[in-house]
């Protein structure tokens, strides 16, 4: 074989290897983008409620305001934008918000989460003729990112919207309305955000079954409505969903907290005009939300490690 022919073959091999390197680099860059991008882009409009997960919470006293959702309400939506910083510990639930309807995190293995996710729940107390029941739905949400969640009740059916999906469950004919009262101890009947005034501990035969405790993270906005605000799947199924990035008040709004109060405030205005002012306790205050939720490279996926992985695969 001539020297010229050998040179052409060598040049071809170099080009093939360079092409392989370029394709691999592009693949790893795309993987990095997928790792650090949230499910969709979201930034708070202003302030957020920051909660330390230790003892911070906010309260709307039942004695002063009654239940947020009126008796005999047969459809409603409760929705929130929240940013979880830590997952639930074993046998724990962390309350984001709760009264007749509740949203939070759970350590129960019902979501099939990956290492960058946490398991969340949406639940509601519903009632019908002679019965009251609590229904629980679960979904994975992203840790260290902004997430949207809504509990929706309509036509005897409880549905859950989470980030870019909405799921409908089976119809339960005997459950027609939101529960007129919450069947819990008096200490836990107020409307709470971020945790109860004290942990709810559930024990059976001396064994701890569950602890309901504080949420560590941030909340951008919460809205209660007396209608089902979004189109639901026609039957039990899941379909794509585009969540609203801003909550606005209208004639169907029962309460709306956007936490755009002055930085450091511990009283949070109900911007629906219905006068349901939340009171922050133990340091639950508003902070500027612009620094929350920025994209970041995860510690175990640095560019240096990625380049090392590419080299080890190619050479």
Domains of the chain, residue spans: 3-37+298-314, 47-291
Q: DSSP string of 50-83?
A: EEESSS-EEEE-HHHH--SSPTT---EEEEEEEE
Q: Bin 142: left if φ > 0, else alpha if -120 < ψ < 50, else beta.
A: beta
Whole-angstrom CA distances from 109 to 106, 119, 141, 203, 204 are: 8, 8, 13, 20, 20
- CATH number for region 47-291: 2.60.120.200
Q: How much is the pLDDT for 39?
A: 53
DSSP code of residue 187: G
Q: How much is the pLDDT for 36?
A: 46
Q: Phi, psi at residue 254, to the nearest 5°? A: -90, -35
Q: How much is the pLDDT for 33?
A: 43
Q: How much is the pLDDT for 99?
A: 97
Q: What is the pLDDT along the chain (315 residues), one digit of tens a residue?
A: 555 554 545 555 656 654 554 445 555 545 444 444 455 678 888 999 999 999 999 999 999 999 999 999 999 999 999 999 999 888 899 999 999 999 999 998 888 888 899 999 999 999 998 899 999 999 999 999 999 999 999 999 999 999 999 998 878 889 999 999 999 889 899 999 999 998 887 777 777 777 889 999 999 999 999 999 999 888 888 999 999 999 999 999 999 999 999 999 999 999 999 999 999 999 999 998 876 654 332 323 222 222 232 222 222
Cα-Cα-Cα-Cα dihedral sign, residues 80, 82, 86, 87:
positive
d(CA 67, CA 64): 10
Tally of CB atoms within 10 A around 143: 19
Number of Cα atoms under 13 Å in the Cβ half of residue 32: 21
Q: How much is the pLDDT for 2?
A: 55
Q: How much is the pLDDT for 40?
A: 62
d(CA 77, CA 55): 28
Tally of CB atoms within 10 A around 311: 11
Instruction: Please give the distance of CA 257 from its chain centroid, rounded to a whole number.
Output: 16
Q: How much is the pLDDT for 209?
A: 72
Q: How much is the pLDDT for 47?
A: 94
Q: How much is the pLDDT for 25?
A: 53
Which residues are CB-neighbours of 46 under 8 A, at least 6 positions away?
A: 258, 259, 260, 288, 289
């Amino acid at each position: 074989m001539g020297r010229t022919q050998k040179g052409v073959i060598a040049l071809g091999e170099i080009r093939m290897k360079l092409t392989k390197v370029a394709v691999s680099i592009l693949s790893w860059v795309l993987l990095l983008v997928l790792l650090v991008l949230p499910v969709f882009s979201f930034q708070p409009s202003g302030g957020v409620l920051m909660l330390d997960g230790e003892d911070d919470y906010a309260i709307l006293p039942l004695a002063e305001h009654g239940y947020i959702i009126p008796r005999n309400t047969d459809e409603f939506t409760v929705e929130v934008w929240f940013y979880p910083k830590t997952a639930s510990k074993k046998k724990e639930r962390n309350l984001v918000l709760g009264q007749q309807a509740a949203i939070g995190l759970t350590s129960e293995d019902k979501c099939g989460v990956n290492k960058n996710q946490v398991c969340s729940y949406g639940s509601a107390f519903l009632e019908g003729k002679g019965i009251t029941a609590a229904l629980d739905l679960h979904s994975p949400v992203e840790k260290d990112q902004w997430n949207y969640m809504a509990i929706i009740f309509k036509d005897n059916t409880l549905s859950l919207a989470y980030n870019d999906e909405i799921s409908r469950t089976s119809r339960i004919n005997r459950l027609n309305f939101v529960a007129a009262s919450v069947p819990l101890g008096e200490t836990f009947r107020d409307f709470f955000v971020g945790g109860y005034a004290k942990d709810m501990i559930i024990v059976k035969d001396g064994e701890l079954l569950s602890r309901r405790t504080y949420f560590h993270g941030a909340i951008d906005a919460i809205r209660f409505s007396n209608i089902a605000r979004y189109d639901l799947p026609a039957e039990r199924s899941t379909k794509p969903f585009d969540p609203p990035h801003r909550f606005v008040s209208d004639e169907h709004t029962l309460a709306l907290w956007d936490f755009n109060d002055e930085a450091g405030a511990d009283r949070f205005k109900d911007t629906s005009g219905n006068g349901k002012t939340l009171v922050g306790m133990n340091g639950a205050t508003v902070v500027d939300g612009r620094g929350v939720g920025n994209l970041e490279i995860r510690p175990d996926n640095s560019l240096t490690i990625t380049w090392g992985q590419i080299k080890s695969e190619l050479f």
